[in-house]
Amino acid sequence: MKKSHKDETTLVTAGREPFAHFGAVNTPVFRASTILFPTHAALKARTQPFIYGRRATPTTRALEEALTELESGTRTVLVPSGLAACTLALLSFCKAGDHIVVSDGVYGPTRHFCDTILRRWGIETTYVAPCDTAAWRKAIRDNTALFYLESPSSLTFEVQDLPLLAAEARPHGIKILIDNTWATPLLFKPLELGADIVIEAITKYIGGHSDLTMGSVTANKDAADALLDMHGHLGLTVGGDDAYLALRGLRTLATRLKRHAETGLTLARWLGARPEVTRVLHPALPDDPGHEIWRRDFRGTSGLFAFELKPCPPDALSRFLDGLQHFGMGYSWGGFESLIVPAQIARTAAYHAPQGPLLRISAGLEEAGDLIADLEAAFARFAAP
Ligand SMILES: Cc1ncc(COP(=O)(O)O)c(C=O)c1O
C-alpha cells in the first residue's frame, strides 16, 4: 500500500500508540523475559501479540515496525550491533558449498567474518572492486548465493550501481544484501532499487548519540522467512532500554542528518581547497567519481567522508591529530560529536591506493566555523613542528 505521508512524518509517528500507554507520548521501556498467558487455551494457541521476551516486546516491536516502514520492507529484526546485522544477514542466505561475491570496499570486520567463519564452514568468497560491474558479472558461478554490497564503501566511499547489479543477479536467483549504514533509510532505499536485504548499524546515525550499539536487518517479502528463521535460531535479541534509545534517536534523525550533511560538505569543500590535501572522497561533491549514481539513487548525503593528505612523515600526521579541540579520535561515527581517524585500507581487488594518509571525518553538530578553525590549527602544527 502506498504511504500517504513522508519519511520525516514517519519518524515522528511510527511505533507510537500513546493511548495504549496512559497518554505517554513515547512507547515505554518493556523489560521482559517471561510473558504470561492468562489461560491454558491461550498458552496452547500462542496467538497473543507477545509470547516471550527474546522474540519481541512492545518496545522492540515499535522499533522494528518503524524501520520496516522506512526501508519499504516486509520484516525487520534487531541485533545487538551493526556487525551482528552484517553477519546475521550473511548467515541467513548462504550455506556450506556456496560461493558469495562481496564488495572489496566492505566494512573490515564483515570481510574478516567471510575470511574466517564462512570459509571454515565451506563458503567461498570472491572480492570484486565495488564499481566494476563487469567483474561482478564475471564472478558469478553456478553456486553463487549472494552479492554483498556496501554503498558508499567503508573508508573510500565508492558508490555502487545497485539497480545494475540487481539486474545482473536476479536471473541467477542471487540475493542482494546491502549495508546501508552511511545513508540510513532516509537517504537511500535499497529495497526499492532491487536489493533483497538491507542492513543498518543503528549504532551510527539512527542511535546518533554515541551511547548505543545495535543493528537491524530488513528483508523484502521473498527473503523475510529465511531471515526470521536464522534470527530465531541464533537467539538474537536486544534489550528494551536499548530499543528505547534507538527509537529516541529515530525521532530526530532527519533533522540531525541535514545538519551532519551541511557541515560535512562545508568541511569537504574547505579541505578540497587546501594545498596539503590531494583528494576528498565524498560522493556529494560534483567531481567525485560516484557523484552521478549518488545523485540518481540517493536522496541526500550524510556527514561521513574522507580526505587524503600529501605523503608526509608519521610525526607530521601525529602533530595534525594531537591537539584537535573538537574532533575526537575513535572508531565509530554518526554521533552528535565530530570524529576523525586515519583509515586502514585492506583491499584485494584492483584499487588505486592512496599515496599519503587517508583520514575519515564524521561531521558532528558543532558549528562549522569552529571545526574549520580546529582543522586550520591542525594544518599549522602539521607544517611546523
Ligand atoms: C558500514 C558499517 N557497517 C557496520 C558497522 C558495524 O557496526 P557496529 O559497530 O555497531 O558493530 C560499522 C561500524 O563502524 C560500519 O561502519
- List pLDDT tens digits, range 120-161: 999 999 999 999 999 999 999 999 999 999 999 999 999 999
Mean pLDDT computed over 282-311: 98
204 labelled catalytic: yes
Q: Is the pLDDT of residue 385 over 80?
A: no
What's the pLDDT at 97?
98
Name the residue with the closest Cα to ligand 1, atom 14.
Answer: 332
Q: Is the pLDDT of residue 2 over 70?
A: no
What is the CA(329)–ligand 1 centre distance, in A? Answer: 16
Mean pLDDT computed over 354-380: 97
Global pTM? 0.97
Closest CA to 181 of 83, 108, 109, 75: 83
What's the pLDDT at 1?
45
Residues with CB under 6 A from ligand 1: 81-83, 86, 107, 150, 154, 179, 181, 201, 203, 213, 215, 332
Ligand 1: which of 78, 107, 199, 214 to mutate, judged by most atoms within 8 Å of the beta carbon?
107
Nearest atom, ligand 1, residue 86 CA: 4
What is the CA(202)–ligand 1 centre distance, in A? Answer: 8
The single-letter code of the amino acid at 50 is F
Mean pLDDT computed over 65-80: 98
What is the CA(50)–ligand 1 centre distance, in A? Answer: 30
Specify the range with the lowest mean pLDDT, choosing from 18-32, 51-65, 345-359: 345-359
Nearest atom, ligand 1, residue 333 CA: 14
What is the CA(298)–ligand 1 centre distance, in A? Answer: 20
3-state secondary structure of 279: strand
Q: Where are the domains of the chain?
A: 254-383
Mean pLDDT computed over 357-378: 98
Mean pLDDT computed over 8-30: 95
Q: How many residues does the chain have?
A: 385
Q: Which of 204, 251, 319, 360 is catalytic?
A: 204
CATH superfamily of the domain spanning 254-383: Aspartate Aminotransferase, domain 1 (3.90.1150.10)
Name the residue with the closest Cα to ligand 1, atom 8.
Answer: 82
H or E element that contains 379: helix 368-383
Instruction: Give pLDDT tens digits for 318-345.
Output: 999 999 999 999 999 999 999 999 998 9
What's the pLDDT at 4?
73
Across the chain, mean pLDDT equals 97
Cβ atoms within 10 A of the Cβ of 305, count? 26
- Strand blocks (E) in the chain: 75-79, 99-103, 124-128, 144-150, 175-179, 197-201, 215-219, 277-281, 304-309, 339-342, 358-362
What's the pLDDT at 3?
63
- Strand blocks (E) in 288-363: 304-309, 339-342, 358-362
Instruction: Give pLDDT tens digits for 209-261.
Output: 999 999 999 999 999 999 999 999 999 999 999 999 999 999 999 999 999 99
